[in-house]
Structure 1
Amino acid sequence: MAMRYAGKYPRNRPVPAVESTGVASLLRIPGATSIMLYVALAAVTYAAWEQLWFQAARRRTGGKPAVPGPTHVIPLVGGLVRMVMDPYGYWENLRQQAMGGGSGLSYDSLVGKMMVFLTDADKCREVMAVNDPTRMMMTLHPSAKNILGPNNLAFMHGPEHKAIRKSFLSLFTRKALGSYVVVQDALVRQHLAAWLAKDEGAEREIRDDVRDLNQQTSQQVFLGPYLDDPAEQATFSRAYSDITLGFLAFPLCVPGTAVWRARQGRFYVLRVLEKAVSRSVEHTRAGGEPRCLLDYWTQRCLEESDAADAAGEPRPAHCTPARMADAMLDFLFASQDASTASLTWCVTLMADHPEILARVREEQQRVRKGDWSATVDGDTLAEMSYTRCVVKEVLRYRAPAPMVPQLALCDYPLTPEFTVPKGSLVMPSINAVAMQGFADAEAFDPERFAPERQEDIKHAKHCLTFGHGPHYCVGKEYAINQLTLFLALLSTACDWERRRTPDSDKWLYLPTIYPADSLVTFKPRA
């Protein structure tokens, strides 16, 4: 039996056409077309709302002009595409807008978030010093917690953060730094010899060679005899490279992605580091002298733990093997990208300024008396005052970490006329600040750090290369020693030339800044 038709209209009667006028009638069209129209309407509505929100958010009170930036933001993505395609041009444009407007502020949209770019030295120092989970905190990257883990120092604040930083003081005493210099000396010489033997006289991009030198130096200084298995060391280095590459990838953590590999790399690195901590504890408990940075810290942590036990108090949270491994990962991460960038700048800037390199060599002759094979120790390094000035100028002129991103966790009153909306990114520009205050700041001039001028003291608020506030770099002196020693040995072992291109004065963001190209030819110095 045929089923009766249950529709509204008889079978043979045509269904009236749907009216085509008016939004309401369009939305009555059934199926996929209707869904597409709803989506399109929602997108248009959101885009219009987004424009209005950003126009309101950038306003300043008191009759002041709005914060410089795009009149109309690109819906949804904002400046992301340009930032990825042309990072140098993107950040330089924000810097020019902030400096040109006189307020030290500019803004853009970044995937729907407001991003406020700062070039005013006082305001940069202010936001970097907050470190308050109710107001503003440092933020690294959308994938940072996946890559580095939730216990990384960058995410710490309050008493626990102060306690662990206090325990780090023993790692950078004069005695400890002097013991590191001897290790650094041997490794730098080893790599320079390899550079000279590799494709002698051929031009090459030096960035990767510098990265390898710095990576091995960091591993040996920090972990010493505890990374003694060649196979494990090779896997450790690959895993660490995966961690670094995760910061350059799209922030998606699923199997097969770069962030996923970075996360797995962290797990492997932490397992190796925990094992190293256990061996260091055993060595120290047996009365062994410190042989690497980890041993110095183990010694300190055992002293703190024993004191807590004697007082009947809980041991410090940072003294467990797992938390010590987390901190060692942070040291490796902090020392790798920033120092690699600065070492690369040392090579290129000295090639660009041969008159300064000549003075470095004059000082090396005076201090080391032509005995280039003798190991440079801490005392010898301390006599290299001009070479140290050159290094400080490299760090000022091209600060490796160009910005220290902060996340506003409330509506933050940045100035009397402007409040940063909650959820916004605030980007203090270290390099923009360094190009203010100093005499002829755009010039590369190591003499500014000489005792006669002391511009680092006179313009201290513009010296933010190593940060400011609770996250100020505890390894500052170690980093300066590494660069000073490298330049001292490089200047006496090698002659080199740099081939400049139209892009040579631009920067690469990886994520620390490098010369856009560092095409160098080395040869042994006669």
Structure 2
Amino acid sequence: MIFLTGQDHKDLRSHIAPNFTPRELSTYTELQQLIILKHLESLERLSEASPAEGIPLRLFVRDLNLETSQTEFVGRYLSSEARERFRVDYNDFNAGLMTIPFDLPGFAFQKAKLRCQRMVKMLIDCVSQSKTRMLEEKLREMKYTQAVAHEVVSYRPPVTLVPHIVKEFQLTESYTIPKGTIVFPSVYESSFQGFTEADRFEPERFFDKRQEEVIFRRNYLAFGAGAHQCVGQRYALNHLVLFIAMFVTLLDFKRDRADS
């Protein structure tokens, strides 16, 4: 979707968008909670085995998110072997996606392209069998946790790059970005522009009275912008809200400060 433009891009988004309506999102949450709980229990076991050692969350959360999406959208139609192969392919795909798109042997982009083709074949097989059952739950009343989720995704990435295909855009007086150019704006740098006291962790900025993600929409790039804005952003935020709520409710934890 990142590299498609024009009608092909619009058609693809129109096919995917119905999966992320408020009604559909409300059906995903019970299964999300079950998977998050399973991973939190595994995290607790790891902590009990080595109580003096900190546990880095980055890879833990990545695997949690991948299992949630696999289970949510293709149900139980991936075997354990297929899930592991999908996990490896998806990691290679993400790594190649953030590189310069040289479609040549030996380059990460081509490796990502090949991995994507294999994942598509697996998913096509899953779709033909899929009869996912989901139940409803409301998240909209969790106002503060919703605000924390917005704050996390927009203000605390290390150095995040979001690819975006632009229309012709005058960057400076002497240079205009040509139409169709792929640019990688920094979410980290953008999150410090416009927002009130941007260096403070302040979820209240996303409350109804302030709505800084709306007022400073141009700098709220956690999910991209324009025609290529992430179609699954509400699903991702709902998932993050559930994870935060369950993490702080079910676990006792402390933060170890790392060097990087």
Partner in structure 2 of residue 478 of structure 1? 235
The equivalent position to 1:291 in structure 2, one of 112, 129, 133, is 133
Query: Which has more strand, going by share of residues?
Result: 1
Q: How far did 1:452 drift?
A: 3.2
> How do 1:496-515 residues align onto structure 2 when only pairs under 5 Å count?
496-501=253-258, 503=259
Q: How far did 1:436 drift?
A: 1.7
Q: How far did 1:199 drift?
A: 4.1
Partner in structure 1 of residue 9 of structure 2? 161
CA distance in 2 between partners of 1:415 and 1:242 (Å): 32
TM-score calculated relative to the size of structure 2 = 0.83
CA distance in 2 between partners of 1:471 and 1:421 (Å): 17
> How do 1:284-323 residues align onto structure 2 when only pairs under 5 Å count?
291=133
SS in 1 for 2:161: coil
**Larger radius of gyration between Structure 1 and Structure 2:** 1
> How do 1:430-509 residues align onto structure 2 when only pairs under 5 Å count?
430-501=187-258, 503=259
CA distance in 1 between partners of 2:201 and 2:250 (Å): 24
Q: Is the 8 A contact 1:240 1:265 kept in 2?
A: yes
CA distance in 2 between partners of 1:471 and 1:408 (Å): 10
Q: Is the 8 A contact 2:206 2:213 kept in 1?
A: yes
SS in 2 for 1:243: helix
CA RMSD of aligned residues (A): 3.1
Q: How far did 1:277 drift?
A: 2.5
Q: How far did 1:211 drift?
A: 1.5
Q: Are residues 1:386 and 2:144 paired?
A: yes
Q: Is the 8 A contact 1:408 1:420 kept in 2?
A: no
CA distance in 2 between partners of 1:272 and 1:260 (Å): 19
Q: How far did 1:390 drift?
A: 0.8
CA distance in 2 between partners of 1:243 and 1:424 (Å): 21
> How do 1:321-332 residues align onto structure 2 when only pairs under 5 Å count?
none
> How do 1:15-414 residues align onto structure 2 when only pairs under 5 Å count?
153-200=1-48, 201=51, 202-227=53-78, 229-247=79-97, 253-254=104-105, 262-280=112-130, 291=133, 378-379=137-138, 381-399=139-157, 402-405=160-163, 414=170
CA distance in 2 between partners of 1:265 and 1:394 (Å): 30
SS in 1 for 2:201: coil
Relative to structure 1, is the Cα distance of residues 199 and 445 closer, same or farther in structure 2, using a 3 angstrom cutoff? Answer: closer
Q: CA-to-partner distance for each residue in 1:141-165, whole Å, 9 max, x for gaps?
A: xxxxxxxxxxxx1121112222222
Q: How far did 1:193 drift?
A: 0.3
Q: Is the 8 A contact 2:146 2:237 kept in 1?
A: yes
Q: Is the 8 A contact 1:243 1:265 kept in 2?
A: yes
Q: Is the 8 A contact 1:400 1:465 kept in 2?
A: no
Partner in structure 1 of residue 174 of structure 2? 418
Q: CA-to-partner distance for each residue in 1:397-440, whole Å, 9 max, x for gaps?
A: 1257733345789xx56157222376976443333222122211
Relative to structure 1, is the Cα distance of residues 161 and 254 closer, same or farther in structure 2, using a 3 angstrom cutoff? Answer: closer
Q: Is the 8 A contact 2:35 2:64 kept in 1?
A: yes
Q: Is the 8 A contact 2:170 2:177 kept in 1?
A: no
Aligned AA (1:419): Y
SS in 1 for 2:75: helix
CA distance in 2 between partners of 1:249 and 1:468 (Å): 20
Q: How far did 1:449 drift?
A: 1.4
CA distance in 2 between partners of 1:268 and 1:190 (Å): 28
Relative to structure 1, is the Cα distance of residues 275 and 400 closer, same or farther in structure 2, using a 3 angstrom cutoff? Answer: farther
SS in 2 for 1:483: helix
Q: CA-to-partner distance for each residue in 1:467-513, whole Å, 9 max, x for gaps?
A: 22110111111011010000000011112112224x3xxxxxxxxxx
CA distance in 2 between partners of 1:494 and 1:467 (Å): 32
Q: Is the 8 A contact 1:401 1:465 kept in 2?
A: no
Q: CA-to-partner distance for each residue in 1:96-150, whole Å, 9 max, x for gaps?
A: xxxxxxxxxxxxxxxxxxxxxxxxxxxxxxxxxxxxxxxxxxxxxxxxxxxxxxx
CA distance in 1 between partners of 2:242 and 2:208 (Å): 21
Relative to structure 1, is the Cα distance of residues 387 and 279 closer, same or farther in structure 2, using a 3 angstrom cutoff? Answer: same
Q: CA-to-partner distance for each residue in 1:187-228, whole Å, 9 max, x for gaps?
A: 00000000001141232222221121111111111211322x
CA distance in 1 between partners of 2:18 and 2:129 (Å): 19
TM-score calculated relative to the size of structure 1 = 0.44
CA distance in 2 between partners of 1:234 and 1:203 (Å): 26
CA distance in 2 between partners of 1:231 and 1:291 (Å): 23
| Number of residues of Structure 1 aligned to a counterpart in Structure 2 | 255
Relative to structure 1, is the Cα distance of residues 170 and 418 closer, same or farther in structure 2, using a 3 angstrom cutoff? Answer: same
